[in-house]
Structure 1
Amino acid sequence: MTAPSTETPLVLSIQSHVAFGHVGNDAAMLPLQLLGIQPVAVHTVQFSNHTGYGEFKGQVFTPAHIADVLDGLRARGVLARCTAVLSGYLGDAGVGEAILAAVQEIRAARPGLHYLCDPVMGDVGRGLFVRPGIPEFLRRRALAQASIITPNHYEFELLHGAPLASVPEAIAAARSLLGAAPGTGPSLVVVTSLRTPDLPADRLATLAVTADAAWLVKTPYVDLQPLPNGMGDVFSAVLLGHLLRGKPTPDAVAGAVSSLYALVSRTSPGQRDLPLVACQAQIAAPVDRFSAEAV
């Protein structure tokens, strides 16, 4: 009898990095580790802090820098061992191309590779906050290569090209983005912070859509002003971790929503970051669990 593999799954996480705060890789690494996943972090920027604190210092790394780091990982055989790729905020469309090149390279050896692309572009109230060219890159290039996308409501409407009036309309819009095979579009669309007119005003919803099923997870609306940064980064990391650990899609989505709600609801008013370290137990085993309802 062959012993089960004890090798820890590796996730190539190509995102921003801040010395202080929890966004990008600094929001994704701890959740992945707590779920038994080893992140291989490649930083697209290095800033002193995230923009929620106002002034920041640091640099946006060039596509050549990203390619150089990936080349070093390739030489160590690390890229070939990665079972998933995670990406979020892009400082430059050229960095996006370097990410897609890595995805295509790994997928050639691992056809079942998960590529979770969080298409960070903006949010309700803040509007668009990425550089010109990023939305077009995400729509025209990244969407086709992703196996999972996790836009918020605002970003999903940008990808869809029109406002959404109802949950059934959102489901139809999500299915229009799905691909028939790897490299043609995602097989799973997860829309966070969904607030269509047909949903209760005191609830926040997350919608998960595949070709033949859809689920809705609803939580109480937590009215924090301002909202802490990095919520989408944490959600995407936890969702990917659950999927890599073999959870069915509705359970993985419900688990990620439950963990994020636990962290948001424990965030002090005015705090700009989620309490990842202080409340780390809520990441793998949240006290309040919400279920995914088929719609």
Structure 2
Amino acid sequence: MHFLSLQSHVAYGYVGNRAATFPLQRLGHEVWAVNTVEFSNHTGYGAWRGRVAPADQVGDIVHGIEALGLLKRCDALLTGYVGDAALADVVLDTARRVREANPRAVWCCDPVLGDVDTGLYVRPGIDAFFRERAIPACDLVTPNHFELEHLTGRTVATLDDALAAARMLLAGPKLALITSLRRTDAPAEQVEMLAVGREAAWRIATPLIGFDVAPNGTGDAVAALFSAHWIESGDVAFALGKAASSIFAVLEATRAAGERELQLVAAQDRLVAPPRRFVAEAL
């Protein structure tokens, strides 16, 4: 398959396009990566260098890809971190162009806003863009626990809370994938993902791997992996199982190496063929 991916880029580490591109390529897919920011490292380190890509630059790159006649071959659009509200129109315009060229293309929108340990870390207006414009227009939305609460204005403490909040996002998307769900009515030593559609839902749980500093980019990698498996197979439960098993294997390797950054390259064989398989259950 062919993916057009509008996400952040870091020279060091694995978030955004750096977390999505290699896993997709390792699965055999082509990725056309367009960077919305160019940073030395992700902002979780507290200091970084680089800048947000100008909106016209990002748009020009997309137009160049379109001029080659490639958008008709695009199977999926991945969008993630939007560094500036000026990029919002570019993201929406790109989605429109992709769908005009290939009406079967799937838009996976990862509404990157923040996390439970950092709070909101995007510029003003980005959350409103995702809530009011991007999510209603996409096919798949992939918030983490914090983002689900922020986007819906609901506290998510239980499974019922999570299901109800996820369904609030389905006015446009066919499916919501909730990553890194931690709820009070589940064992503390596990972490879950939920895939919630309009008529069905699936849950998968993996053991919680402890880190002194949790690696960033896990959600970016999961969104890419799940999208690829879902589009290719059409089977939500299968895609959920594959994505959860792969990211668990990568996180195990990351902890074993004592590294802060996801060990996607070192664990690439485990990413493709995870030694431990997890199976999603229908709810």
TM-score by length of 2: 0.96
Out of 135, 140, 143, the position equivalent to 1:151 is: 143
| Partner of residue 131, structure 1 | 123
Query: The residue matched to 2:124 in structure 1 has which SS?
Result: coil
Counterpart amino acid of 1:91? Answer: G
Q: Quick check: 1:121–1:128 contact (8 Å CA) kept in 2?
A: yes
Q: Quick check: 2:214–2:260 contact (8 Å CA) kept in 1?
A: yes
Counterpart amino acid of 1:19? Answer: A
| Partner of residue 201, structure 1 | 188
Out of 30, 34, 40, the position equivalent to 1:38 is: 30
| Partner of residue 267, structure 1 | 254
Provide the C-alpha distance between the structure 1 equivalents of 2:73 and 2:86, rounded to a whole number of angstroms: 24
Provide the C-alpha distance between the structure 2 equivalents of 1:138 and 1:270, rounded to a whole number of angstroms: 35
| Partner of residue 3, structure 1 | none
Per-residue CA deviations over 1:36-94 (Å, capped at 9, x if unaligned) read 21000001111122223342211211111111111111111122221110011110122
| Partner of residue 85, structure 2 | 93
2:68 matches 1:76: yes
- Percent of counterpart pairs with the same letter? 46
Per-residue CA deviations over 1:10-61 (Å, capped at 9, x if unaligned) read 1100011111111111111111111121000001111122223342211211
Bigger shift: 46-55 or 257-266? Answer: 46-55
After TM superposition, give the deviation of residue 229 of structure 1 in Å: 1.2
Q: Quick check: 1:35–1:242 contact (8 Å CA) kept in 2?
A: no
Query: The residue matched to 1:132 in structure 2 has which SS?
Result: coil
Provide the C-alpha distance between the structure 1 equivalents of 2:168 and 2:98, rounded to a whole number of angstroms: 26
Q: Quick check: 2:155–2:161 contact (8 Å CA) kept in 1?
A: no
Counterpart amino acid of 2:135? Answer: L
Out of 247, 255, 258, the position equivalent to 2:245 is: 258
After TM superposition, give the deviation of residue 110 of structure 1 in Å: 2.5
| Partner of residue 15, structure 2 | 23
| Structure 1 segment 48-63 matched on structure 2, within 5 A | 48-63=40-55
Counterpart amino acid of 1:272? Answer: R
Q: Quick check: 1:53–1:272 contact (8 Å CA) kept in 2?
A: no
TM-score by length of 1: 0.92
Provide the C-alpha distance between the structure 1 equivalents of 2:218 and 2:104, rounded to a whole number of angstroms: 27
Counterpart amino acid of 2:224? Answer: A
Counterpart amino acid of 1:243? Answer: W
Runs of at least 5 residues in structure 1 that lack an aligned partner in the other structure: 1-8, 180-184
Out of 202, 214, 226, the position equivalent to 1:227 is: 214
Provide the C-alpha distance between the structure 2 equivalents of 1:275 and 1:109, rounded to a whole number of angstroms: 36
Per-residue CA deviations over 1:141-184 (Å, capped at 9, x if unaligned) read 111111011111010011111102311221122122213xxxxx
Provide the C-alpha distance between the structure 2 equivalents of 1:26 and 1:109, rounded to a whole number of angstroms: 26
After TM superposition, give the deviation of residue 255 of structure 1 in Å: 0.7
Query: The residue matched to 1:42 in structure 2 has which SS?
Result: strand
Counterpart amino acid of 1:223? Answer: G
Runs of at least 5 residues in structure 2 that lack an aligned partner in the other structure: none
Bigger shift: 107-116 or 216-225? Answer: 107-116
Provide the C-alpha distance between the structure 2 equivalents of 1:174 and 1:48, rounded to a whole number of angstroms: 34
Out of 200, 218, 230, the position equivalent to 1:213 is: 200
Q: Quick check: 1:45–1:61 contact (8 Å CA) kept in 2?
A: yes
Per-residue CA deviations over 1:212-245 (Å, capped at 9, x if unaligned) read 1111100111111210111111111111111232
2:180 matches 1:188: no
After TM superposition, give the deviation of residue 270 of structure 1 in Å: 5.6
| Partner of residue 280, structure 1 | 268
Query: The residue matched to 1:273 in structure 2 has which SS?
Result: coil
Out of 90, 94, 103, the position equivalent to 2:95 is: 103
Q: Quick check: 2:73–2:102 contact (8 Å CA) kept in 1?
A: no
Provide the C-alpha distance between the structure 1 equivalents of 2:116 and 2:47, rounded to a whole number of angstroms: 22
After TM superposition, give the deviation of residue 192 of structure 1 in Å: 0.9
Out of 161, 165, 175, the position equivalent to 2:157 is: 165
Q: Quick check: 1:238–1:283 contact (8 Å CA) kept in 2?
A: no
